[in-house]
Amino acid sequence: RELTVDLGSRSYPIYIGEGILNDIAALFQKHGIGKGSPLLVVTDEHVAAHFLDRVTGLLSAAGYSVASHVVPAGEPSKSLAMLEQIVATALEAGLDRKSTIIALGGGVVGDLAGFAAASYMRGVRFVQIPTTILAHDSSVGGKVAVNHPLAKNIIGAFHQPEMVLYDTATLLTLPDREVRAGLSEMIKHGLIWDADFTAWCEENADRLVGLDPEALQYGLYKGCSVKAAVVSQDERENDLRAILNLGHTIGHALEAVGGYNELLHGEAIAIGMVGAAKLSVRMGNPEHIYTVTKRIFQKFGLPVSIPPHLDTDEIMRAMMHDKKFNEGQIVYIVPTEIGKVEINKNVSAQWVRDIVDQLKRED
Residues near ligand NAD (CB under 6 A): 44, 46-47, 50, 73-75, 78, 105-109, 111, 131-132, 134-135, 137-138, 141, 143, 153, 170-171, 173-174, 178, 265
Ligand-binding annotation for 111, yes or no, is: yes
Active-site residue flag, 252: yes
CB of 114 to ligand NAD, least distance (A): 7
- Name the catalytic one among 69, 125, 227, 294: 227
Return d(Cα 70, Cα 73) in angstroms, integer: 9
96 is in an annotated binding site: no
Q: What is the closest distance, in whole angstroms, from the C-beta atom of residue 50 to ligand NAD in the complex?
A: 6
The residue of the chain with the least Cβ separation from ligand NAD equals 107
Residue 265 labeled ligand binder: yes
Distances (CA, A) of 4 to 129, 183, 288: 16, 22, 34
Give yes or no: 344 in active site: no
Residue placing its CB nearer to ligand NAD in the complex, 168 or 285 = 168
* C-alpha of 126 from chain center: 17
The reply, when asked if residue 292 is annotated as ligand binding, is no
Least distance from ligand NAD to the Cβ atom of residue 130, Å:
8
Residues in the chain: 363
Q: What is the DSSP letter of 50?
A: I
107-128: b or e for each residue (b if 16 or more CB lie within 10 Å)?
A: bbbbbbbbbbbbbbeeebbbbb
Residues β-bridged to residue 326: 329
Q: Give the type of residue at 31.
A: H
Is 248 marked as a binding-site residue?
yes
Is the CB of 106 or the CB of 272 nearer to ligand NAD?
Answer: 106
What one-letter code names the amino acid at 226?
Answer: V
Cα–Cα–Cα angle for 186, 187, 193, rounded to 5 degrees: 95
Nearest to 162 by CA among 34, 25, 16: 34
Nearer to ligand NAD, 231 or 347 (CB): 231
Q: Is 110 annotated as a binding residue?
A: yes
Degrees, nearest 5: CA angle 160-166-172? 140
Is 309 assigned a catalytic role?
no
Nearer to ligand NAD, 58 or 349 (CB): 58
Active site residue 97: no
Question: Does 227 participate in catalysis according to the annotation?
Answer: yes
| DSSP per-residue letters across 312-336 | HHHHHHHHHHHH--BTTEEEEEEEE
Question: Cβ 72 to ligand NAD, closest distance in Å?
Answer: 9
Among residues 10, 50, 241, 360, the one annotated as catalytic is: 241
Q: What is the DSSP letter of 2?
A: E
Binding site feature residues for NAD(+): 107-111, 131-132, 143, 152, 170-173
Binding site feature residues for Zn(2+): 185, 248, 265
Binding site feature residues: 107-111, 131-132, 143, 152, 170-173, 185, 248, 265
Which residues belong to the active site?
Answer: 122, 143, 185, 227, 237, 241, 245, 248, 252, 265
